[in-house]
Structure 1
Amino acid sequence: MSCGPEADFARSCVPSITSSGHRATLLTDDGVRIEAARTPRNPLPEALSAPSSGPFPAPATDLAIVLAHGFTGSLERPALRRAAAALSQHADVITFSFRGHGGSGGRSTVGDREIHDLTAAVRWARSLGHRRIATVGFSMGGSVVLRQAALHGRRRAGGGWGEHGERTDASPDVVVAVSAPARWYYRGTASMRRLHWAVTRPTGRLVSRVGLRTRVHPEDWDPVPLSPTEAVPLITPTPLLLVHGDRDPYFPLDHPRMLMAAADPATTALWIEPGFGHAENAAGPELLRRIGAWAVARAA
C-alpha cells in the first residue's frame, strides 16, 4: 500500500498487513504502531438518489469519517464495527485501536498520548485520497477528538491555521464528540469510580489487561493535558457536534453543558438524546445515521 508522497503521510504509515488494502499498521509521531482498518462507503439504495439538500444528504465520495473508540474498545469490538457499518452509509470509515487496545502497541494513557494515534489515522485517511475528514469520538475517544482538533485544527491557540498559517494534513474538517467528559479526574458516578480503580491501582491495571484486554500505562499524567473544556474554544471555526445521553451512567448532563458553554455557539451544536446511555455501546443505528448526515452536511 502506498501512503502517498507527502512526508507526513510516509511518516505515519507502514505497508498494509492484508492484501485487500483495507487494513494497515500506522506509525505514530511518538513511535507506536497502531492497527487501523477502512470500511468502504456502502450507501443505502435510497441514499444514492437522495437530494443533497434533504435531511439525509447524499453520501460523500471525498469524505472519510475517522472513529475514535472509548476506553477498552478496539476496531474489532462489535460496538465499533456496528458504528462503522452505520456511518459507512454516508462515507468511507476509518477505524483504529488506540495504543494499549486490541492489536495496537504501547500502553493506554487514557486520553493523553492518544492524540498521536488519532492524528496517524487522520493522515492515513488523507493519504487514501480523502479531501475532507470528520473525526467522531466516543467517551475517551470524544475527549481525544476535541484535543486533537484544538491542537491540529484550523486555528491554533497562537492564531492562524496550522504552524505556518495553513491547514495541515492532520486538521479535521468536522468534529463530533459523543459521551465526552468535560473535565479530568471526575469521580462523581459509580462507573467512573470503577474506571479510576482500573487505571490507577496495580490490581485494577491487572484486571484491565487480563479481563478487558487493555494495557494501561502505570505513570500519572505529567503534565496534565489540556482539558476538553479548555480545548473546545480552540476548535472554532471547525464545525463541532456534542452528543450526550440523558441516561449516561458515566458523565451526567453537566459535562456536555460545560462543553457547550465553552464552545463557539456559531459553530457548535449540542444534542441531548433522550434514553441514550454511553458511547458506542449504546449508540443505535438511527442516532449514528443522524450523526453521519450532520457530518456530511457540515463538511460540504
Structure 2
Amino acid sequence: MAAAGLGLAVAAGAAGLGFAIARKLTAPLSGRIFSLTIRDILRRADGDAVVLDLTPATAAPGIYNLWLEDGGWVRLGRVIDQDAATVTRLVESAAPNGALRVGRHASWSGIYYRDPEDAGLEAEDVIVETPVGPAPAWLIRPAGNATNDWAIHIHGLASPRAGTLRGVKVATDVGLVSLVVTYRNDGEGPRLGSGRSTLGASEAEDVRAAVRFAIAHGAERIVLFGWSMGGAIALQVAADREFDHVIDRLILDSPVLDWHETIAANCARVGLPRQVGVLASPWLQLNLLACAIGLSSSVPLDTFNWIARAPALSVPALVIHGTADTSSPPVAARRLAQLRPDMVQLETFLAEHTLAWNSDPERWARLANEWLAAMRAA
C-alpha cells in the first residue's frame, strides 16, 4: 500500500509539473520585465555612454535596444568598458529627449525599431481578414512600387511584429513589397478564447490568410521571413499545396524546428532537468488535457518536427541561428542542414535567440541579400 501511495504521489507530481510547463509555454502575452537599472551615464567626446549591470546579454557584441519602464528607449552600440560587475556601452540614440537618466529601470531587447517610421520605412495600415477576425498588418512598398515579389514577415511567440522590422529593411532594400502580419492572441491580432498560444498550430491559419491577401493584391512570388515560432509557422504554410506556385523561398531566424527539443531546452534554461519537458506533451497534444490548460484545441507537436519531416521540405530555406541560443538551440538546424543540404543553407552567428541581426547587422543583411538576389534572378 505504501508503495502504491508513493507511486500515485509521484504520478500526481509529474502531472502537475507537466501542467505547469504547458501553461507557462502557452500563456497569454504579458508585459515586459524591467530587470535592469541604469547605473551611470558617462558624457564623452564621442557621445554618451550608459553603465549597466554585467550580464551575458548586456556584454554581447552588437547593437541593441534598452526599453525604459516609464517610456522611451535607448539604442546601444558597442561595449567600451567592462569590469566584474558592470558593462559600459555607447549610446547610439535616445528618445524621447531626456529619457536617459540614472536609476531608470529598463528592459534589454533585440527589437531595434519601434515601428516602421522609426526604421525609416513608409507603411500603410491594412487589415487581413483571418478565420477569427481582422488582423492588422503593415504594408510596406519599396521605392518604385512596381513589383510582384513580396515578403511576408512573421514574428515569434511573445514578440511584437516590430521585431521583424530588422528583416523588413533588408527586403525593402532589394525591392520586395513587405507585409508585416499579426495573428490571433499575439497582443495585436484578434483575441480568441483564453488568449493562449497554440504554438503556431492555429496561428498558421492567420498567416495563410495573409498569403492569400498578398496574392489577391498582386504577389506572384513570396518569400516568408519567420522569426522563432514564426519560423515554425512559415514552414507549415510553405508546405501547403495551395501555395506551391507562389512561396519561393524562406528566411528563418532562430526557427523552432522541433517543439519537443525547444520545450526541453527552455526547461533547462530555467533550471529544470531537460527530461521533464516531455511531461508537458500530453497537456498539449491530447484534446481533453489541452482544454484543461485553457487551449481551444490540441497542438499537434509532431507536425512541427522538421527533422522527421525533412524529406517533405520543398521550399529552399536560409536558416540563420545563434550558436549561443538557449531557447531554440541550433542542434536541430544543424541536423536539418545535414539532412537536406539541397534545400537548407545554415548560417550561424555568435548570438542568443533571435539576436543574430543585432550581433552583426551587416553580415545578416548581406546573407539575406544574397539569398533574395538568387530569387530575383530566377
Return the alpha-carbon distance in structure 2 between the equivalents of residues 126 and 296 of structure 1: 21
Instruction: Summarize the alignment of residues 164-243 of structure 1 with structure 2, pairs less than 5 Å apart.
Output: 167=245, 171-185=246-260, 186-189=263-266, 218-219=295-296, 221-224=298-301, 226-229=303-306, 230-236=308-314, 238-243=315-320
Q: Corresponding residue for 2:94?
A: none
**Contact kept in structure 1, 2:250 and 2:317, CA below 8 Å:** yes
The answer for unaligned runs of 5 or more in structure 1 is 1-19, 44-58, 155-160, 162-166, 201-215
TM-score (normalizing by structure 2): 0.53
Identity rate of aligned residues, in percent? 23
How far residue 80 of structure 1 moved from its aligned partner, in angstroms, is 2.3
> CA distance change for structure 1 residues 261 and 290 in 2, over 3 Å: closer, same or farther?
closer
Between the aligned partners of 1:271 and 1:60, the Cα distance in structure 2 is: 31
- Gaps of at least 5 residues in structure 2 are 1-121, 281-292
CA distance in 2, matches of 1:191, 1:178: 21
Alpha-carbon separation, structure 2, partners of 1:31 and 1:151: 20
Q: Which has the larger radius of gyration?
A: 2
Amino acid in the other structure paired with 1:127:
A
In the alignment, the residues of structure 2 paired with residue 139 and residue 40 of structure 1 have an alpha-carbon distance, to the nearest angstrom, of: 25
Name the residue aligned to 1:249: 326
Among 126, 135, 158, the alignment partner of 1:24 is 126
- Residue by residue over 1:118-168, the C-alpha shift from the partner in whole angstroms, topping out at 9 and shown as x without a partner, is 1112222222212110001010001111111112466xxxxxx6xxxxx3x
How far does residue 66 in structure 1 lie from its aligned partner after superposition?
Answer: 0.8
The whole-number CA distance in structure 2 between the counterparts of 1:60 and 1:267 is 29
Match of residue 231, structure 2, among 142, 146, 155: 142
1:87 aligned onto 2:164: no
Distance 1:221 1:109 in 2: 8
Shift of the alpha carbon at 1:190?
5.2
Divergent runs of 4+, >3 A: 189-194, 216-220, 222-225
What secondary structure sits across from 1:173 in the alignment? strand
Contact 1:147 1:231 in 2 (8 A): no
Deviation of 1:283 after TM superposition, in Å, equals 1.9
Q: Distance in 1 between matches of 2:129 and 2:154?
A: 16
Deviation at 1:69, TM superposition (A): 0.6
Secondary structure of the structure 2 residue equivalent to 1:22: strand
Larger strand percent: 2
Question: Partner letter of residue 130 of structure 1?
Answer: A
Q: Which has the higher contact order (CA 8 A, sep 6+)?
A: 1
Pairing 1:31-110 to 2, within 5 Å after superposition = 31-42=132-143, 61-75=147-161, 77=162, 79-90=163-174, 91-105=176-190, 106=192, 107=195, 108-110=197-199
- Name which of structure 1's ranges 136-145 and 239-248 shifts more when overlaid on structure 2: 239-248
Q: 1:245 to 1:33 in 2, by over 3 A?
A: same
| Structure-2 separation of matches of 1:31 and 1:189 | 30
Q: Is the 8 A contact 2:150 2:221 kept in 1?
A: yes
3-state SS of paired residue (2:223): strand
* TM-score normalised by structure 1 residue count: 0.65
Partner in structure 1 of residue 343 of structure 2: 267
Two-structure CA RMSD over aligned residues (Å)? 3.1
Show the counterpart of 2:240: 151
Cα distance in 2 between the residues matched to 1:184 and 1:127: 33
